[in-house]
Amino acid sequence: MAKLIMRDLAMTYGDFVAVKSLNLELQEGEFVSLLGPSGCGKTTTLRMLAGFIKPSHGTIEMDGKIISSPSHTVQPEHRQMSMIFQSYAVWPNMTVGENVAFGLKLRQMSKDVVNRKVGEILDVVHLSHLIDRYPAELSGGQQQRVALARAIVVQPAVLLLDEPLSNLDASLREEMRYEIRRLHDEFRITTVYVTHDQAEAMVTSDRIAVMNQGQIEQVGSPHEIYDAPRTKFVASFIGRTNFLRGNVRGGKIEFDGFAVPTANVKCLRPLQGEVLFSLRPQAIHVHRQSPGESSRCCYLLGRIMQRGYLGEYWDYVVKPEWGKNALRVVVPPQFAFEAEETVWLEIDPAAMSHITESADL
């Protein structure tokens, strides 16, 4: 039995639909991220899960029991859930130890049990040496660890996180992504994580639900979402990509400046008429000399229009000689080409993902 189920979940405010017909199941101990841009409905969904707002339609079930519906909502304090907010919400007048102990004391545990549990969780989050410090004396990352410790120490059935790293600088965000995943691997608490940051979702999640305009466009593992996007929105929101439009004619797909056999591409459904594909920049290889003939790959002669060195890779914009549309190409730093240099692009049709314009198609 699934731990958490959202069935046809919807939330409307007058004529505005914030969430529509959302269906999602989480298994016990699973970490699922709701990923999408601002205004896509992910935080509204999290607030319905927490019990802060009542859904306009649909239900939320936990352990087989309905905890939210338009007619009845279990109050947040009775849901066995912990929530971590963007602003940390640690109490400034309490020490680290007192902040972490707060939920345990509310449950009327003995002093010895509280002290033991606080000590254990502070060891896990590497804050034991700061037990007597106040939040004002801590860094942003340390405050976020306090919030995590306070949420986890009460052993919730479900952990909810609402963009918890957005107030941190880039290096701290990267560090805390791995910290959140480490803590999840240790405690295996069923977790719903809201973020607009694709890197956070990719690092922390077992599965990612990509949301757009109030609905889920695709659910899958980080690998599936990145390598096999199903819609144009998912392909563009998760990483960068090239969109290739083509037409199916006589067993081939004719793109801008080249053609590939339909049998060589991965398809969502039988191909006909106009089609759309996603091709990641790093899936295109660059050569100075013509690589020769190939029964699998196709080669395009092109010219480098722009280039940028980003340390870990070169970012090129290449205009194919026989096409109208430039392609974005990413290669390792040792492969340096000059602006205006003529190169050969190698495209493997197997790396192209067939996508639809939207989730409704």
pLDDT tens, residue by residue, 245-257: 999 998 899 999 8
- Which of these three, 211, 231, 251, is where a domain ends? 231
At residue 339, what are phi and psi to the nearest 5 degrees? -60, 140
What's the DSSP call for residue 246?
E
CATH number of domain containing 123: 3.40.50.300
Note whether 35 and 183 are same-domain residues. yes
Note whether 121 and 165 are same-domain residues. yes
Note whether 324 and 308 are same-domain residues. yes
Note whether 173 and 259 are same-domain residues. no
Rounded to an integer, what distance in angstroms lies between the CA atom of residue 55 and that of residue 51?
A: 9
Q: Quote the pTM value.
A: 0.91
Residue 21: give the domain boundaries: 4-231
Rounded to an integer, what distance in angstroms lies between the CA atom of residue 149 and that of residue 154?
A: 9
> How many distinct structural domains can be found in the chain?
2
SS3 241: coil
Note whether 131 and 226 are same-domain residues. yes
Note whether 194 and 301 are same-domain residues. no
Give the tokens for residue 237: 């929101």
pLDDT in tens, 82-115: 999 887 778 899 999 999 999 899 888 899 999 9
Give the tokens for residue 152: 């986890």
Per the domain annotation, does 360 fall within a domain? Answer: no
Cα 18 to Cα 2, 14, 42, 72, distances in angstroms:
25, 10, 9, 20
- Which of these three, 214, 231, 248, is where a domain ends? 231
Rounded to an integer, what distance in angstroms lies between the CA atom of residue 55 and that of residue 169?
A: 34
How does pLDDT run along the chain (361 residues), one tens digit per residue? Answer: 799 999 999 999 999 999 999 999 999 999 999 999 999 999 999 999 999 999 999 999 999 999 999 999 999 999 999 999 887 778 899 999 999 999 899 888 899 999 999 999 999 999 999 999 999 999 988 998 999 999 999 999 999 999 988 888 888 889 899 999 999 999 999 999 999 999 999 999 999 999 999 999 999 999 999 999 999 999 999 999 999 999 999 889 999 988 998 888 888 777 888 999 999 999 999 999 988 777 788 899 999 999 999 999 999 999 999 888 999 999 999 999 999 999 999 999 999 999 998 876 4
